[in-house]
Amino acid sequence: GQQLNQSPQSMFIQEGEDVSMNCTSSSIFNTWLWYKQDPGEGPVLLIALYKAGELTSNGRLTAQFGITRKDSFLNISASIPSDVGIYFCAGQSDTSGSRLTFGEGTQLTVNP
């Protein structure tokens, strides 16, 4: 099946720092989603992107849909301790119907 490469796998940062993570694919995607998973919980949608080149913000979070439709990045500005968790990218393509393909996740740790 399709695969998404998400990097980095983990990040350890100080409170107040900015964070950037990205996902790349060998296939073209029509939709990119970014989820956050808190410990013991299910993933929660942060940002959805539907158009190549689209740049969308949600508070301190900004995500972009790559112009080639094969990548996306998520930035978090001025990180705070509650940003801790696993961040997943997910993509949907023409050939996958409503199915989502997920990246392996980025584990973020924020030191106060």
Which of the stretches 12-20, 31-39, 56-64, 71-79 binds another protein when contact is defined by CB under 8 A? Answer: 31-39
Based on the shown chain and the rule CB under 8 A, indicate whether residue 6 belongs to the binding site for another protein. Answer: yes
Based on the shown chain and the rule CB under 8 A, indicate whether residue 30 belongs to the binding site for another protein. Answer: yes
Q: At residue 88, what are phi and psi to the nearest 5 degrees? A: -120, 140
Based on the shown chain and the rule CB under 8 A, indicate whether residue 48 belongs to the binding site for another protein. Answer: yes
CA distance linking residue 85 with residue 8, whole number of Å: 14
Q: Which is nearer to another protein, 77 or 86 (CB)?
A: 86
Is the Cβ–Cβ distance between 43 and 35 less than 8 Å? yes
Based on the shown chain and the rule CB under 8 A, indicate whether residue 25 belongs to the binding site for another protein. Answer: no
Residue appearing with tokens 């990119």: 32
Based on the shown chain and the rule CB under 8 A, indicate whether residue 28 belongs to the binding site for another protein. Answer: no
Residue 83: helix, strand or coil by DSSP?
helix
Q: Which is nearer to another protein, 14 or 41 (CB)?
A: 41
CA distance linking residue 24 with residue 68, whole number of Å: 10
Based on the shown chain and the rule CB under 8 A, indicate whether residue 99 belongs to the binding site for another protein. Answer: yes
CA distance linking residue 7 with residue 9, whole number of Å: 5
Based on the shown chain and the rule CB under 8 A, indicate whether residue 112 belongs to the binding site for another protein. Answer: no
